Structure 1
Amino acid sequence: MNLKKIVAVVAVLGVMLPAGAQDPIIQTRYTADPAPMVYNDTIFLYTTHDEDDADGFKMLDWLLYTSTDMVNWTDHGPVASLQDFSWRSRDNGAWAEHVIERNGKFYMYCPLHGHGIGVLVSDTPYGPFKDPLGKPLVWNKENWYDIDPAVYIDDDGQAYMYWGNPKTFCVRLNEDMISTKGDIMEMDHINDYQEGPWLWARKNAYGEKNYYLAFASTCCPEGIGYAMSKSPTGPWEHKGHIMDHTPRTRGNHPGIIEYKGKSYVFGLNYDLLRLITDEHHERRSVSAAEMKYNPDGTIIEVPYWKDTVLEQIEPFDPYRKVQAETMAWGYGLKTDKLGERNMYVHDIDNGEYIMLRGVDFGKKGAKTFSVDASCVKPGGMIELRLDKADGPVIGRVMIKPTGSIDNYSRFTCKVKGAKGVHDLYLCFSGNGDDLFNLDSWNFKK
């Protein structure tokens, strides 16, 4: 039985993480090395990508997901890949990246293991990203430490790039963000540091500004450690763990943001892989959790991902065009590009579903549901259910053959009983696998 069939069986049987536990936030691909960025009131989550058949690290491109509520994520697919670096020497190794905005442009810093760290630039956070240098931004040719870049811009406008395993390096960046200023600095060793530095600053309850350096702590298993300083270049004082080492996972890699009045830590685990096998493969998944501080600025340790609950920040609006690749849960499904920019959902099998959390239908409720879909087989049905996969049915829409998998038609059904705020399940049924493809959907009042 191949991976796709295993995944389908798991989905049909309803085998998933315990109710109330924090699931990995992306399920349609294996993702790792989260690099969240807040821009225009939206979280842009850039990740690396473990291929479905990876045993060791097999990583070819970098992905993007967006959210405004922390629980429902829209998949934008690959936004850059190794192919964007003409000077690369390997066809594998799209390792942990970092994206930051400055002066209306977006800079993606990418390690090409053994050949330094490159930079790509775009006019939008969605890409396309282009290589402005045609060579590495930094490259310590005498070693292979040049991995896991992270960039921080201080209040005075000075930008810094940090990287390294097992040592920590830092260099100042010029305002153009594609050239360096001064020498590369090697930090004093930080206790328990392994790799994956992440920098930010924050004032504590007493108005004192602290700089933070989070990192993947010593392998294996890795936790997420952190150190604090009064300067972006140290010295750094080890403070403990944001998330402790645990045998429940093998690796970790932090990304930290503040968003809508709360702080969040992103990291990685093998929880999706564990749904189908106990064997180790490098097929990782990104999770997130709320993170809180003590009055002095030290961080309150976060339990392991599955022992946390990620609260939704705001209700989800269904009365707009919603891309089908927007979901809180979609295990067993796959997404791909539809044309140059749009995405679609495919590999939709009998018994699978898309779930969205906290959908606000309002007091009067929804009257109709419409979906853009395509299929060449006899098709199938989408049942709209509330609160769980076998919850109350509020509508059913049949997806009929459209003549071509690339020819999308709109299918509509009446809706009854959709009022207030509920989790929404789009449940798929039909004869066999690959029932149809989905592009977008919406409700109307």
Structure 2
Amino acid sequence: MKLIKSCSTIMLLSLLAVQCFAANPIITHMFTADPSAHVWEDGKMWIYPSHDQDDATSYGSMNGHHVFSSEDLITWTDHGQIMHTDDISWARSGHLWAPDCAYKDGTYYYYYPVRDKQNKNRIGVATSDSPAGPFTDSGSYIEGTDEIDPACFVDDDGQAYLYWGGHHLRFVTLNDDMKSHSGVTHVELPNFYEGPWMHKRNGVYYLSYASGVQKPIVYCTSSSPTGPFTYRGVLMDAEVTGGATNHHSIVKFKGKWYIFYHNIALSDISCRRSVCVDRLHYNDDGTIKKVVQTKESVAPVPYNLALNKAATQSSTAQDAGPGRAIDGETRGKKDDASVTCTNREANAWWQVDLGSDYIIGDIKIWNAIGADAAAKFGGYTISVLDSNQVEVWSSHQTAPAERPTTVAVGGAIGRTIKVQLAGENALSLAEVEVIGSSIPILPEISTDLNIAEKKSVTASASSTHSSSYSAQKAFDGNLGTRWASTGESTPWLEVEFDSTVTVHGVKIVEYHDRIRSYKVQVYNESWETIFVGGNPSSNKTYDFPAVTGSKFRLQVTEATDGPTIKELELYVDAESDPSVSLD
């Protein structure tokens, strides 16, 4: 499939402030669900989701969990697998479901639901000194746990509570070891199904949860983490997930509230889910406004891009290297190793390489402390250079730098930030912060077209359930209609064009997830197989070497029941075929 980059979202050389967004789902290289979101002491957003297999046909093949982090909610780092059922001596494989993580006194506690050797739902806990693991299992499940979906809430006073449940909510007040407790409390809540989450705002405790299969996320409030709880209503509608039971978490990040959840936008299959994030807002009375899912996700959250990046300067005096200005220390005293210093020279400079282009919002400069600091640091230029070292923005400052001096850049796109003195003097800096965010991945616009929708076609099939489900329905461009076979497990579906076309890809959009293997064939005096596939993803185009013909067939070779297909899409390259149009 040939792709071109679209610059309609952001002009990379523009110096104007821009409103940029990522896209939901936020993790696309693997299927993830049930996100538990937290902000730890490093200031990053961390999410601990479960993991659906690429070929999952149920929730019984979930064995390994990954963890992800981000500084701006746009660029996410996959830290790899942190837990697998093979690491849990007392557990069976296949049911490592929605986890959570908590932090207390220097230790991260990873709570996970899994089935024990007797096939009973239990909750275990593993520990690590890092939010990214590796986590070491405690060796046994938490006594009294008998269901799924743990959520650990640590209150402002350090007291931790563990909530969980399927159909009924349970919780315990955890002891200092974050595992033992004095007893389980059962709580009856309206329509409680699973996926509890507790958060606190302005002294109010908010307990939210899934109210059923393909039903809303609802919430209650209380003046205590142990209740009693008052039902408040829906915070996210059921249709947001598009067919899967939702599971969410709510967290405050750099002054704003966010909700993480999952949908099935990448797969259209309920057991192949994907994590999303959107803003969460409150009414003046503290109730939660209903969340609206967006395809755009959220705007980038600015952060200090310069921290611990690679810095250089025109010269170094007194062993005061350039890295001191990006170490997070703003103290500014020359005798405590927190200040840079060059030789006294003409047009002394300091710069930091951010590693790649970013959107730059503000630059903050902390001058050194000392009687002559202001005199040395008066009259200087701040510049932003792109990856080609071309200056894209600059500002000359005539007043001495303060502690800090903040200069608004306003959205310039750059990689290198440079500070340069005018005249002859030594340049000393206590700290430089570059406040900005990642450039969102630009949308990719395909030059491919579904030729079966663009051209007149004649469709046929080995069998048809009824006239309402004719073969032609699989080529009408309407996902609300479908072809259905009579129940045979190896049917075929054909399409014939009025002229030859050159096809290089296929997409199969099923109504039910039934096909387990298939062949795509072209007719040239006889049927020739051009592609063999397994269980198809409804949101994925499968490419193969380009083949020219006028008659193509989908031959199902294995299915769990009679296949029924919304659309059979065959792709051509519109860029190289003048007979079709992008319009």
TM-score between the two structures when normalised by the length of structure 1: 0.64
Mapped to 2, the partners of 1:321 and 1:60 lie a distance apart of: 37
Is residue 133 of structure 2 the alignment partner of residue 130 of structure 1?
Answer: no
TM-superposed deviation, 1:158: 1.9
Distance 1:284 1:194, change over 3 A: same
Mapped to 2, the partners of 1:195 and 1:357 lie a distance apart of: 43
The 8 Å contact of residues 37 and 44 in structure 1, kept in 2 or not, is answered as: yes
SS of 2:206 mapped into structure 1: strand
Q: Which residue of 2 aligns with 1:344?
A: none
SS of 2:224 mapped into structure 1: coil
TM-superposed deviation, 1:422: 5.1
Q: Which residue of 2 aligns with 1:86?
A: 89
The 8 Å contact of residues 34 and 286 in structure 1, kept in 2 or not, is answered as: yes
Sequence identity percentage? 35
Is residue 186 of structure 2 the alignment partner of residue 186 of structure 1?
Answer: yes
Mapped to 2, the partners of 1:423 and 1:288 lie a distance apart of: 15
Mapped to 2, the partners of 1:98 and 1:263 lie a distance apart of: 18
Matching of residues 26-425 of structure 1 within 5 Å: 26-39=27-40, 40-57=42-59, 58-88=61-91, 90-113=92-115, 114-132=120-138, 134-140=139-145, 145-180=146-181, 182-188=182-188, 190-203=189-202, 209-219=203-213, 221-246=214-239, 248-274=242-268, 280-306=269-295, 309-314=297-302, 317=305, 359-360=359-360, 363-367=384-388, 423=440
Q: Which residue of 1 aligns with 2:351?
A: none
Distance 1:21 1:70, change over 3 A: closer
SS of 1:112 mapped into structure 2: strand
The 8 Å contact of residues 253 and 268 in structure 1, kept in 2 or not, is answered as: yes
Q: Map Cα deviations across residues 317-368 of structure 1 (whole Å, 9 max, x no partner).
A: 499879xxxxxxxxxxxxxxxxxxxxxxxxxxxxxxxxx9954497322227
Q: Map Cα deviations across residues 31-79 of structure 1 (whole Å, 9 max, x no partner).
A: 0010111112111111110010101012111111111111111111111
Q: Map Cα deviations across residues 361-406 of structure 1 (whole Å, 9 max, x no partner).
A: 97322227xxxxxxxxxxxxxxxxxxxxxxxxx9xxxxxxxxxxxx
| Structure 2 gap segments, 5+ residues each | 10-19, 311-355, 362-382, 390-414, 416-436, 445-542, 544-583
Mapped to 2, the partners of 1:424 and 1:56 lie a distance apart of: 32
SS of 2:262 mapped into structure 1: strand
The 8 Å contact of residues 205 and 222 in structure 2, kept in 1 or not, is answered as: yes
* Mean CA deviation greater in 357-366 or 169-178: 357-366
Mapped to 1, the partners of 2:282 and 2:72 lie a distance apart of: 21
Q: Which amino acid aligns with 2:225?
A: P
TM-superposed deviation, 1:231: 1.4
- Tell which has more relative contact order, 1 or 2 (C-alpha 8 A, sep 6+): 1
TM-superposed deviation, 1:423: 4.5
* Mean CA deviation greater in 151-160 or 192-201: 151-160
Q: Map Cα deviations across residues 216-249 of structure 1 (whole Å, 9 max, x no partner).
A: 2221x13321111111111111111221121734
Q: Which amino acid aligns with 1:138?
A: E
Q: Which amino acid aligns with 2:136?
A: K
The 8 Å contact of residues 211 and 232 in structure 1, kept in 2 or not, is answered as: yes
SS of 1:183 mapped into structure 2: coil
Structure with the greater alpha carbon radius of gyration: 2
Distance 1:54 1:12, change over 3 A: farther
The 8 Å contact of residues 72 and 357 in structure 1, kept in 2 or not, is answered as: no
Q: Map Cα deviations across residues 395-429 of structure 1 (whole Å, 9 max, x no partner).
A: xxxxxxxxxxxxxxxxxxxxxxxxx98556699xx
TM-superposed deviation, 1:304: 2.4
Mapped to 2, the partners of 1:367 and 1:358 lie a distance apart of: 13
The 8 Å contact of residues 21 and 299 in structure 2, kept in 1 or not, is answered as: no
The 8 Å contact of residues 357 and 439 in structure 2, kept in 1 or not, is answered as: yes
Mapped to 2, the partners of 1:128 and 1:115 lie a distance apart of: 24
Mapped to 1, the partners of 2:169 and 2:71 lie a distance apart of: 33
The 8 Å contact of residues 109 and 120 in structure 1, kept in 2 or not, is answered as: yes
SS of 1:312 mapped into structure 2: coil
TM-superposed deviation, 1:81: 1.3
The 8 Å contact of residues 252 and 268 in structure 1, kept in 2 or not, is answered as: yes
Mapped to 2, the partners of 1:426 and 1:367 lie a distance apart of: 24
Mapped to 2, the partners of 1:171 and 1:245 lie a distance apart of: 29
The 8 Å contact of residues 300 and 438 in structure 2, kept in 1 or not, is answered as: no
Q: Which amino acid aligns with 1:222?
A: K
Distance 1:91 1:309, change over 3 A: closer
Q: Which amino acid aligns with 1:51?
A: Q
TM-superposed deviation, 1:120: 0.2
The 8 Å contact of residues 222 and 250 in structure 1, kept in 2 or not, is answered as: no
Distance 1:318 1:24, change over 3 A: farther
The 8 Å contact of residues 318 and 360 in structure 1, kept in 2 or not, is answered as: no
The 8 Å contact of residues 31 and 283 in structure 1, kept in 2 or not, is answered as: yes
SS of 1:287 mapped into structure 2: strand
TM-superposed deviation, 1:148: 0.2
SS of 1:135 mapped into structure 2: strand
Q: Map Cα deviations across residues 71-112 of structure 1 (whole Å, 9 max, x no partner).
A: 111111111111221111x21111011101100000001111
The 8 Å contact of residues 315 and 360 in structure 1, kept in 2 or not, is answered as: no
The 8 Å contact of residues 50 and 98 in structure 2, kept in 1 or not, is answered as: yes
Mapped to 1, the partners of 2:439 and 2:129 lie a distance apart of: 37
Q: Which residue of 2 aligns with 1:326?
A: none
Please, what is the CA RMSD of the aligned residues? 3.3
